[in-house]
Amino acid sequence: MTRALDSLKRRFYKARPLGTALLALWATVAGAEVVSGAQLPDGSQKVGENRYRAPRDFDATLDYYKSVYSASSYPRRQIVNQPGVKAVHISNPSGKNFAGLNIYEANDEVRIFIVPLQQAPRTVKKPENPKPAKKK
């Protein structure tokens, strides 16, 4: 028995859960802002040089960064865990554009600090044979 590819049955397409999850992830990442090569959650507000206020709570911000920067490629370590203060550092092993991210919560506010690359100190060249000063 052969089955026709085109049928007159009217069936509605049911979205698959994985497709819906991927679409939600794409929508989350698509609206993100990139600063110095580091991706920030949509709605982040600049509060200082390389410092941003996250629009979500601490756990939601960490979940966002788990989807953007995988833990296997971008190592994480806990910096501080005191009452009222939480902080996690995400390293950038490629070393391009930024050294890492510090995500911390204090005073019921979540902040993101983009750790800049360490720049080599500039050396000032001194003349090898300085001319003696002329006497008057």
pLDDT tens digits along 41-88: 999 999 999 999 999 999 999 999 999 998 899 999 999 878 878 899
pLDDT greater at residue 95 or residue 27: 95
In a domain, 75, yes or no: yes
Among candidates 102, 120, 13, which has minimal Cα distance to 52? 102
Res 60: pLDDT: 94
C-beta separation of 93 from 75 below 8 A? yes
Question: Sorting pLDDT into bands at 50, 70 and 90, what band is 23?
Answer: very low
What's residue 29's pLDDT? 47
Residue-averaged pLDDT of the chain: 77
d(CA 74, CA 82): 24
pLDDT in tens, 80-101: 878 878 899 999 888 788 899 9
Q: Does residue 120 carry a pLDDT above 80? A: no
Residue 125 lies in a domain: no
Determine if residue 107 is left, alpha or beta; phi over 0 gives left, psi from -120 to 50 gives alpha, anything else beta: left
Position 75 scores a pLDDT of: 92
Is 39 contained in some domain? no
| Domains held by the chain: number | 1
User: Residue 14 to residues 17, 33, 113: CA-CA distances in angstroms?
Assistant: 9, 32, 42
Residue 92 covered by a domain = yes
Range of the domain at 106: 45-119
